[in-house]
Structure 1
Amino acid sequence: MTMNERKTIDLEQGWEFMQKGITKLKNILEGLPEPQFSSEDYMMLYTTIYNMCTQKPPHDYSQQLYDKYRESFEEYITSTVLPSLREKHDEFMLRELVKRWANHKVMVRWLSRFFHYLDRYFIARRSLPPLNEVGLTCFRELVYQELHAKVKDAVISLIDQEREGEQIDRALLKNVLDIFVEIGMGQMDYYENDFEAAMLKDTAAYYSRKATNWIEEDSCPDYMLKAEECLKREKDRVAHYLHSSSEPKLLEKVQHELLSVNANQLLEKEHSGCHALLRDDKVEDLSRMFRLFCKIPRGLDPVSSIFKQHVTAEGTALVKQAEDAASNKKADKKDVVGMQEQVFVRKVIELHDKYLAYVNDCFQNHTLFHKALKEAFEVFCNKGVAGSSSAELLATFCDNILKKGGSEKLSDEAIEETLEKVVKLLAYISDKDLFAEFYRKKLARRLLFDKSANDDHERSILTKLKQQCGGQFTSKMEGMVTDLTLARENQTSFEEYLSNNPNANPGIDLTVTVLTTGFWPSYKSFDLNLPAEMIKCVEVFRDFYQTKTKHRKLTWIYSLGTCNLIGKFDPKTMELVVTTYQASALLLFNSSDRLSYSEIMTQLNLTDDDVIRLLHSLSCAKYKILNKEPATKNISSTDYFEFNTKFTDKMRRIKIPLPPVDEKKKVIEDVDKDRRYAIDASIVRIMKSRKVLGHQQLVMECVEQLGRMFKPDFKAIKKRIEDLITRDYLERDKDNPNMFRYLA
């Protein structure tokens, strides 16, 4: 039959036919014996709706069918679903709800198919909620609204049972909580407001109760184990039945109650808190502490501050130990202070190794702990021991490692590793310039007196220092090492020159080390009247040097020279290894048997200090080459000296040491002078770029600029500013004396 001849279906009769299909569907859902829908059944139902919606007005029943669609759900829920839920409680009610929700979804799926034509045209045209949504909304408004509070309580009660160790049906909870999510139809509001908020509140209360007991009863490590276990279980809970979006909120609650609330009490527990764990090297517990506290806001602050206190205390104890040892040594009048300080530096290195490993391993390399370690070391590394600054101690320590016959017998690898560590410590020292100066002085001695054990190590530490402190820090030292290589080449060509010019023979074996003035520490020169034999040497070398270069001036530094003399004593002839000063003094006795203090002084042209050291080394020390009248232990200006012909010793060759001058004062003066220049330069640099600047600002920028090499003293900066004003580099502002202006 054609379209226009189609028989009009009226509402009553059409709906009655639909009603049969809906009843059949309900029976299937209720589990009553009904045959399944065949495709014919389905097509009939679908077509009926299609026809009723496409008849000419007034027989287009789309609106009425849309309403009836909703009513069929409401009727079913009211008559069947709600009564079955109201009579059940707790877990049984949850099971029934899960079953009813599953059925409801099936029903929505089928009915939406029957009424599909509505969705396609009617609803789209009128912007009405689609069928699927209408079906779900019915359940939400009738079932969910009535029951969600009871459901929430039942679920939370099961979660608490599980926390107490009971077995519960996790799959059931997962299904129930899915309802809270699905009922939102793409929004999480229902899950969050009707379930999650209460669950989080309950969680907080639960762990707050637990924490109150545990913090009283448990040691810090036990408490942390429990906390870690709880967090693991809550994560597991999310994985099994809570929505994944709950994880961060849930863990935050647990962390807050177990850790934040009790942080101080936990970390400061007397016999087991953070201090105790550090004291007893409980690496695993400390790692756990880091893992737990890094998760809470500012949680690591107290841990790192305890770490800093602990390291500072350990370091300060080492300083005190070294101080005590040094003052005992002073009482014994033995000069073993050097050894003591070696031990001290060694111990500081060990301390650093130990706690750096803590920072890397327990505290996962976290910047907060690197900072704590640095600040702790800065505290005690700048204290110094027994009147020696740390800068000097470190320089001496390096010297002992690098010089021949130093106190430490180490393999090459061990030396490299130790030097690496010393340079790390240097980072904590505020007076790096002082270290540099002491180091340079000692390096000079190693190089000039052939005391350096190994060139490679010398260069290697300079590379390390350069990386740590920058190029200008090491440029002079690198120059010194290079100078020695050049000096050796120079000596070789001098020896060739001598063999080619027989007239130029100095009569003595002569080795000259030529150095570049700018690289080396400053030494006194031109102070000694040389014996004739030596003057000849100087002239020969000068002639040779003229052949190589015309533009360089040689300055002789006798204070660093050495000589080997033959001493003809009555018992036997011996070789004496002495300094150039000592040699010059001894050679005077070839032409006089007896000389007074003042005669020696005049003939050598030296100062009192030099003469006293010199004569003391030859007449009052271990080897008495000269006899002194009167035979006292001290040299005075009225003494007389004569050659001791009776002198002898079991060795054929002896070295007569000249007591070293205390260089410390000179080093400190030199560094102070350099600092004045550095501060001046820094102030001028800053003012040149800023033109006008307040006092406070200028001082701060100056400290900032110079901090890499030394900590400038505020008073010193102030003094330099005054000085620059008098020298017309800056001027004070007329109206504001705290403002400075740069004068170009």
Structure 2
Amino acid sequence: MAEEDSSSSSATTSREQEQLENRNLIVPSVAADHHTDDLTEASTTLSGFASVKLGTGSVKKLVIRNFKDKPLILENYTEEAWQKLKEAVQAIQNNTSVQYSLEELYQSVKNLCSYNLSANLYKQLKQLCEQHIRAEIHQLREYSLDTGPFLKKMDKCWQDHARQMSMIRNIFLFLDRTYVFQISMLSSIWDMGLELFKSYIIRDQNVQSRTVDGILLLIEKERNGEMIDRCLIQRLLSMLSDLQIYQVSFENKFLEETNRFYAAEGRKLVQKKEIPGCLYHIKNLLEEEVDRVRAYLSLNTQKLLIAIVEKQLLGEHLSAVLQKGKDVFKAFYKKDLARRLLLGKSASVDAEKSMLSKLKQECGTAFTNKLQGMFKDMELSKDTMIQLKQYMQNQNIPGNIELTVNILTTSFWPTYIPKEIHLPPEMERLQENFKNFYLSKHSGRKLQWQSTLGHCVLKAEFKKGKKELQVTLFQTLVLLMFNEGDHFSLEEIKMATGLEDRELRRTLQSLACGRARVLIKNPKGKDVEDGDRFFCNEEFKHKLFKIKINQIQEKETVFFSS
């Protein structure tokens, strides 16, 4: 019996085999004679039975056995395969079209790896990437001295690099998953690209300093009220994070600049004579920094950042501020804390408790006990919501609206004036269900709904796509009307929602005259006037999927008047 080779079922004569050996060829299969690039791991010659007719007409069996060693690669194949791969990599780096298919390039890598050329292939690829990145840094060194253009060039360089390395890795995936994976000292192709970028660009003192200083300059401009490209900063800081140098190259400098900036702000605040304006400014600054963290800074930076702001604006100057008006400060802080807790805008629980500790020394336990009661109410409300969900499941109560209720102890929280409104039937049923559930557990208590504190998430579908709108309850009542009609007058909306006139005008102004205009006002204008009509903005578009539509704020001066 002849030895069988499961990889094929064809054979050659001994003379043909001798000729093939002399020509230094590999024959994967007879059908593949004209596909010189389709080299595979099945590189041994084929074996099996072959019936050869001789001149006399007799039949003699010929057995073809496997080579003891792998045949050699086609002459010049290594150079040709690498040249093809090199052209493809350079095309990707230069943003031009690649002449070869991904399958063809992948097969070339696989062939070279199959013949123990993986080490040299990895080395050649790394050198190719290194040459390209070295050329990129020369462009950055000589690029515009203006901060804006330089940062955009830096961002494009990084985005292009990430995209190019992803495409290159797809071509060399076989190398990455075999040879590179087995050698612990070697970096994956993606990590190799990151390390080269980090070494040749970010660690260049000139480029690194211009990048970090440029980001800090933009943040300072934003703190001073200027509009900046937040998405650009977010991408650049993500780059530093991906390269694992966010903390050492940026965060330390950023915190130093933050400390310097708010030390100066703190000195300015102490000199202000108007207490309400001073405290209102502090509140805005704290909210802006929390928003800044959420927009583009690392979450790990938040605790350090808030600590610096609190220290400079309150810690070092709290006594001076409180001496100007403790009562005003108490009322303001209580109202603002309530707002942060109810809207989920608190920077962190640790930061809030740290502040309570300082207030306890200055204002006494009677004041801070009420603030602690507010925290306790929020925790109890979370437990109540879990019980409510179970209750509604047990009662088989239908509904496609998810309700969240915060139960507030009147003595702990600021005084809110209840306002009568007309809720849609679905919302009224939800309120009634909650009332039945809650009073069944706490008989004798009285519930009073505070509509001014309500907020909702609405799913909206426009021609340009679907959006999630984060809105107040009053804004919700107005927007839901446009499920039933295309346009309404001011008077019609007032009748349907039951909103008080001033509240309604502020609400419509936020929906039709603000940044996110989901409604269209006719005639156009910044103020809502009698006779105005409102239409759904079917052409509404926004770069974000989740959009917060802020309510137009009333002036706080009335609250502080004496």
TM-score (norm 1): 0.37
- Structure with higher Rg: it is 1
The one of the two structures with greater contact order (alpha-carbon pairs below 8 A, sep at least 6) is 2
